[in-house]
Structure 1
Amino acid sequence: MDGYPGLEQPLVTIGDISVTSTTVFTPSGQAPVKEVHWTFTDMSRTTTAIPTWAIVLAVVFFLFCFLGLLFLLAKEERTYGYAQVTVQGRNLLHVVQIPVANPMMVADLNSRVNYARSLSYGQ
């Protein structure tokens, strides 16, 4: 954005929300960063299950020896759902739901929202 004087670089983006040092930009509008309130809601779920390949191998190797049952000890974590971020100001309300595939994505989004909060409180 070097060719556009007066425009600030975004410090953080959260889905379709961009935050500069002075303004929050969303598809619903914009608001000064010091006048917004942030909400982060983790609506994801992580489950642990025995993967299909382990069940198949356990059945196949059980026919030859009982060691095939050790394949049933294999576990696989699956994360699904989304994280919801809400930014609310005097004339602004915008909600974005971001799909997550692992717990690290949830932590990353939470830290981005906390950084945006720190920009809001720092003004």
Structure 2
Amino acid sequence: MTESPMPFPLPVPHPQSQQRLPGGPVLVTIGDISVEQLRIVSPAGILPTRGANWWAMDMSRTEERIPGRAIALAIVFALACLLGLLFLLCKERTTIGFVQVSVQSGGRTHTTHVRVNSAHQAADVLARVNYARTVCL
């Protein structure tokens, strides 16, 4: 009896995937990047933490405007008394955008965009990147 040839070729492992880094608990997560004690897990592959370079850029913006309800109340109460104009001092702040985070290690680079809805969220992402930098020393 003869063996039939395989219908598809066997996958050839990537040379860098031969390096087996032991896993551990996830210390911090930034978007789709997870940082462990000895490795960084990302969609680009598993990267060693030793010698990793991190970049973070805040691409969010905060807008300040007068809400529509304050304008309506100012018009209604301006007719009754001039105190209605104080409603125009009300401001509403909204933050939109993302923080771009890149990590480079072991000859690979991965970039992710983390959406933020407030200045506090942007500061939290930047603090996570700073913590990941301390893990990667």
Instruction: Work out the number of aligned pairs and report it.
Output: 116
Question: Percent of aligned positions with the same letter in both sequences?
Answer: 46
Are residues 1:107 and 2:123 paired?
yes
Instruction: Tell me, yes or no, if structure 1 residue 31 matches structure 2 residue 50.
Output: no
> Which structure is larger by alpha-carbon Rg, 1 or 2?
2
Alignment equivalent of 1:19, drawn from 27, 35, 38? 35
Name the SS of the counterpart of 1:34 in structure 2. Answer: coil
- The residue that corresponds to 1:9 in the other structure is 25
Larger RCO (alpha carbons 8 Å, 6+ apart): 1
**What is the rounded CA distance, in whole Å, between the counterparts of 1:37 and 1:16 in structure 2?**
17
The answer to whether the 8 Å contact 1:22/1:33 transfers is: yes
Tell me the alpha carbon deviations over residues 66-119 of structure 1, each in whole angstroms, 9 at most, x when there is no partner.
111010011111111110000112332111101111111011101100000001
Structure-2 residue corresponding to 1:77: 93
Taking structure 2 as the reference length, what is the TM-score of the superposition?
0.81
Residue ranges of structure 2 left out of the alignment (5+ in a row) = 1-21
List runs of 5+ in structure 1 lacking aligned partners.
1-5
Quote the offset at 1:28 in angstroms: 1.1
Equivalent runs, 1:32-111 vs 2, <5 Å = 32-111=48-127
Secondary structure, aligned partner of 1:77: strand
- For the 8 Å contact 1:30–1:92, the answer to whether it is kept is no
Show structure 1 runs of 4+ deviating over 6 A.
none
Displacement after TM superposition at 1:65 (Å): 1.5
Provide the rounded CA distance (Å) in 1 between the counterparts of 2:124 and 2:103. 17
TM-score (norm 1): 0.89
